[in-house]
């Protein structure tokens, strides 16, 4: 699959720059538009294309700009692929960032985690479940001058009507909730587990993450029993320093995320 260089697509000229990544559901390219601005173009050739395009349109609103990668336009290429033109996040993925810099300092970690929790809260509020939250699907972009973590890759996301549960096994194994791995019914709390795995840096599920008590945010998120798992609406974010607090009592976050 390729992005044609210097071809007019839907009234815009896109010039291929380089390949950004290739996954099971699509290939992403860095391109330059006719205004000289960098964009990312994701080409999808399978059945997930229509769903992802629909979700990207749904999230393409000013109030969601700081939480989710924004879509500029969607078109179909001559070979039938669905192409989603998105904002280009120059900071790359959270996965690549952590591999590059190593441990993240506490203040930065707190800010990042506050952004992620708010993003997942927004997603669930509008009735969507991501189902594949992991560092590779979180991109580092900007809103104005502020660095923002933006959730991306909605290829296996799902509408979640109230009280819905699912059986489809999907996601990335080391960030999947136990009930998903075991083929049991699951709900949006599976996203909370994945978020906890990202936060504490332990890509595995255990009853009590090593070194973290159940009174910590990460420990509560990663409870093996989904009934005991933290609900995102239990979390408040202190404006002064972005630390997490439970509405019921003070609660710590783990001191590191995804450290080498």
| Domains of the chain and CATH, by start | 7-87 (3.30.200.20), 94-246 (1.10.510.10)
Q: Which residues make Cβ contacts (< 8 Å) with residue 11, sequence separation at least 6?
A: none
How far apart CA 238 and CA 69 sit, in angstroms, is: 25
188 is in an annotated binding site: no
Query: pLDDT tens digit string along 231-252?
Result: 766 666 554 444 444 443 333 4
Q: Contact, 178 vs 195, CB < 8 A?
A: no
Query: pLDDT tens digit string along 92-110?
Result: 998 888 888 877 777 777 7
Q: Give backbone dihedrals phi and psi of 141, rounded to 5 degrees, phi first.
A: -130, -165
* Options 132, 162, 187, 207, the catalytic residue: 132
Active site residue 105: no
Ordered mean pLDDT values, 10 residues apiece, the chain (260 residues): 54 86 82 92 82 89 94 85 91 87 74 87 90 89 83 76 48 72 79 81 41 53 69 60 42 35
Radius of gyration over every alpha carbon of the chain, rounded to an integer in angstroms = 19
């Amino acid at each position: 699959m390729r992005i044609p260089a210097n071809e007019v697509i839907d009234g815009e000229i896109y010039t291929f720059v380089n390949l950004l990544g290739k996954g099971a559901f699509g290939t992403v390219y860095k391109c330059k538009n006719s205004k000289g601005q960098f964009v990312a173009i994701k080409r999808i050739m399978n059945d997930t294309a229509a769903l992802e395009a629909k979700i990207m349109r749904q999230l393409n609103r000013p109030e969601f700009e700081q939480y989710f990668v924004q879509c500029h336009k969607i078109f179909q290429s001559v070979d039938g692929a669905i192409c989603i033109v998105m904002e280009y996040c120059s900071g790359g993925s959270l996965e690549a960032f952590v591999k590059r810099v190593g441990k993240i300092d506490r203040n930065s970690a707190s800010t990042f985690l506050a952004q992620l929790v708010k993003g997942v809260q927004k997603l669930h509020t509008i009735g969507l479940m991501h189902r594949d939250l992991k560092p590779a699907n979180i991109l580092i972009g900007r809103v104005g001058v502020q660095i923002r973590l933006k959730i991306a890759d909605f290829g296996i996301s799902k509408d979640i009507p109230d009280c819905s549960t699912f059986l489809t096994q999907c996601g990335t194994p080391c960030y999947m909730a136990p009930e998903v791995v075991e083929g049991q019914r699951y709900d949006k709390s599976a996203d909370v587990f994945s978020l906890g795995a990202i936060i504490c840096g332990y890509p595995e599920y255990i009853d009590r993450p090593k070194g973290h008590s159940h009174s910590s945010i990460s420990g509560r998120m990663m409870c093996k029993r989904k009934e005991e798992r933290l609900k995102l609406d239990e979390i408040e974010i202190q404006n002064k320093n972005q630390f997490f607090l439970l509405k019921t009592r003070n609660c710590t976050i783990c001191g590191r995320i995804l450290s080498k």
